[in-house]
Amino acid sequence: MQPLLESINIALQALWANKLRSALTILCVVISIMSIIAVVSILGGMDVYVKEKVLEQGSNVFTIQRVNEWEILTDFDKFLQSFKNPHLTLEDMEAIRAEVPDADFVDAALERRARVSAGRRYVEDVEIRGRTSDYPGIGDFPVAQGRHFSEVDMHQRRMVCVLGWEVAQSLFPEVDPLGQIVKLGGKHYTVIGVIEKKPSVLGNNPNVFAFIPITSYLKHFGTFRWTTIAIPVRTADMQSFQTAQEHVRTVMRIRHKLRPNQEDDFYITTSETLVNLWETISRALFGSLIGIVSITLVVGGIIIMNVMLVAVNERTREIGTRKAVGAKRSDIAGQFIVEAITLTVIGGIIGIALGFFAAFLVAAFSPLPYQIAPWSIVIALFITFMVGLFFGVYPASRAARLNPVDALRSE
C-alpha cells in the first residue's frame, strides 16, 4: 500500500509541475465523463417526469389516430404508409360516443400554428387547438377566468376561443381578456375563457395555445394530408379501459368496412405505449451518447499516451538514475501507469462534478426532478481508470525498457 501511495504522490507532483499540459490533456476525459453523468441524470429526471405526466393525464385515456406520428422514430416506412389510411371524422367520434358505453368522455382534436393578434399586439406561433366540448374531461385544463365552450358553441360553429395564459397576458396585459376580440388565423374570435398557467417543460412554454370549437376549426382551416382528427377517449376506470378499446376497435372497423383478414387502418395509442416508446427513445439516445463518448475517450486516451511518451523523453535521465540505484523495470512501468491513471481519474472526478452541476441547472430551470444515479459515478470512475491503464501501458513499457547507461548519458 505504501509504494502505491508514494507512486500517486510522485504522479501528482509530476502533474503539478506541468499544470497547463496536464489540464489540456485531461480536457477530453472531463468532457466525456461530464456528458455521461449529465445525460444519465437528465434522462433519469425526464424518465420520472414523463411517466408521472402520462399517468397524471390519465392512464385511462387512449387515442384513436389515422397516423401514429411516433412511428417516424421506429418504422419510417410504416409511418409513410399510414398516410394512405382514411381520415378520421366527427362522425367517427359521434359513433364512438353513441356505441361505446364505457367511454366517459370522447373528444376530437386538430392542431395547427398561427399568429393571434388583438389590435397592435400579437403572439406568433400559437398552437390553435380545435376541440369538442368534452376536452376539459380529457386533459387538465382548469379555467382561471371565464368558461370552456359548450356543446351549443360547437354545434353552432360559434367564433369563440379559450386562450392559454401566456397568450392572454401578452394580448391583454392591462384589461380583462373576457369578451375581447382576437384575430386568430385571419378570423375574428371572442375570448370566453383563459386557462390557468402551467409550468414550463424543458424551456418550452406550455401556455401558448388557444382552444376553439373543432367545427369552427374545420370550417376555417380544414384538414390536410399531414393533419387529421385524433379522437381521445377517457374511461371511468381501468376496469373498463381494455373493454372500451375493443369496443372502439369494433366500431371503427365496421365504419371503415374492413374485412376480418384486413389490418386496422387506424391506431390506438395508450399511456402505456407512450411510456414504452419513451423508454425506447431514451435507450436509443443513451446508446448514441455512448458511441460519441467512446470516440471522445479514445481521442483523449491517445492524447494522454502521447503526453506520457513526451514525459518519458523529458525524464529519461531521471529514469536512468532510478535504475542505477536499483529500481526494477516493474517499478518504472508502475510509476508511469500510476501517473496516467491519476491523470484520467482526476479528469473523471472533475467531469462527474461538472456533470451533476449541469443536471442540477437543468432541474433548477425546468420541472424535471434532479436525479443522481450512484451507478453512473462507479461506471465513470471505472471508465477513467481503464482509459488511464490502457493508454498508459505503452509509454510505461517504453520507460521500463530504457537502458540505464544510455538514459544517464541523455541531455
**What pLDDT, in 10s, does the model give residues 41-66?**
888 877 777 766 666 556 788 989 88
Rg (alpha carbons) of the chain, rounded to whole number: 32
The pLDDT score that the predictor gives to residue 371 is: 79
pLDDT value of position 316: 78
The reported pLDDT for the residue numbered 191 is: 97
Best mean pLDDT range from 55-59, 95-99, 359-363: 95-99
**305 contacts: CB under 8 Å, gap ≥ 6:** 340, 391, 392, 394, 395
Banded model confidence at residue 368, pLDDT cuts 50, 70, 90: low
Distance CA 276, CA 282 (A): 10
DSSP state of 230: B
pLDDT in the model for residue 209:
93
Q: In this predicted structure, what is the pLDDT of residue 14?
A: 66
In this prediction, residue 10 carries a pLDDT of: 66
- Which pLDDT score, from 0 to 100, does residue 236 have? 81
**pLDDT at residue number 82:** 73
* Residue 142, C-beta contacts closer than 8 angstroms, at least 6 positions apart: 136, 195, 196
Answer whether 110's CB lies under 8 Å from 129's CB: yes
**Measured in whole angstroms, how far is the alpha carbon of residue 5 from the centre of its chain?**
43
Q: Is the pLDDT reported for residue 99 higher than 90? A: yes
What's the average model confidence in pLDDT over 100-116?
91
Please, which contacts does 246-249 make with residues 24 or more away whose CB atoms are closer than 8 Å?
A: 247/99, 247/100, 247/101, 247/102, 247/103, 248/62, 248/64, 248/96, 248/100, 248/103
282-341 confidence digits (pLDDT tens): 787 778 878 888 888 888 888 888 888 887 887 778 777 877 877 788 878 888 888 888
- 266 vs 56, which has greater pLDDT? 266
pLDDT in tens, 5-50: 666 676 677 667 667 777 777 788 888 888 888 888 888 877 777 7
Cα gap 47→50, rounded to integer Å: 5
- Average pLDDT score over residue span 236-255: 91
Is 367's pLDDT higher than 80?
no
Average pLDDT in the chain: 83
* Range with lowest mean pLDDT among 60-69, 117-126, 314-323, 364-373: 364-373
Higher pLDDT, 308 or 211: 211
pLDDT surpasses 60 at 259: yes
Give backbone dihedrals phi and psi of 405, rounded to 5 degrees, phi first: -65, -50
Query: Residue 85's pLDDT band (boundaries 50, 70, 90)?
Result: confident
How does pLDDT run across 133-157, given as a tens digit for each residue? 988 887 778 999 999 999 999 999 9
Beta-ladder partners of 235: 103
Q: What is the mean pLDDT of residues 232-239?
A: 86
Mean pLDDT for 238-245 is 88
